[in-house]
Structure 1
Amino acid sequence: MRNKQTAILVIFLVVGLLLGSLIGEFFANWLPILNKSQQIVWEPRADFNILKYDFYLQVKLNVASVIGLLIAIWLYRKI
């Protein structure tokens, strides 16, 4: 039961971030502050002679996506 709740929370958060970002892009002409963004980059690497990996993760957050994230958390708590 706990795993199902966690999965639903993650889905809410991802959808909230995506919808917030899309709304920010749509309204960027009228409210330019919604489109101000910050990038977060994480690049773990390792080379162990027999195993080598390189992983690149980039998250671009803007004001609208953070607002969408907060709305998603609020909606999840209402359920």
Structure 2
Amino acid sequence: MKKSSFAFALFVLLGLLAGSIVGQLLAAVPTLSFLTTGIVLEWHPKADLHVLQFDIWFRFRLHLLNLLGLLFAIWMYRKL
């Protein structure tokens, strides 16, 4: 089976999403806080060109469960 970049991007996105959902479900468990505590990366580009103005906000929340979901998704993709 030929592997496409769209399928890889879909697997990565689903892996990150699954890790995020599991992280939210386990956030209430204090003994697993090392899995759910992470970092927040923000990027806020702005431009005012007098004709066109835009303001975009990107926020990435990364924790260990996101990375585990990502690694699992890549492993599953390679198994295809």
Cα distance in 2 for residues equivalent to 1:56 and 1:27: 27
Structure 2: tracts of 5 or more residues without a match: none
**The structure with more strand, counted as a fraction of residues:** 1
TM-score by length of 2: 0.84
Q: Which amino acid counterpart does residue 40 of structure 1 have in structure 2?
A: L
Cα distance in 1 for residues equivalent to 2:78 and 2:71: 11
Cα distance in 2 for residues equivalent to 1:8 and 1:71: 14
Consecutive aligned runs of 4 or more in structure 1 exceeding 6 Å deviation:
none
Q: 1:73 corresponds to which residue?
A: 74
Cα distance in 2 for residues equivalent to 1:26 and 1:49: 46
Q: Where in structure 2 are the equivalents of 1:9-48 lying within 5 Å?
A: 9-28=8-27, 29=29, 30-48=31-49
TM-score by length of 1: 0.85
Q: How many residues align?
A: 77
Structure 1: tracts of 5 or more residues without a match: none
SS of equivalent residue, structure 1 residue 31: helix
RMSD over equivalenced CA pairs, Å: 1.7
Cα distance in 1 for residues equivalent to 2:44 and 2:24: 27
1:8 equivalent in alignment to 2:11: no
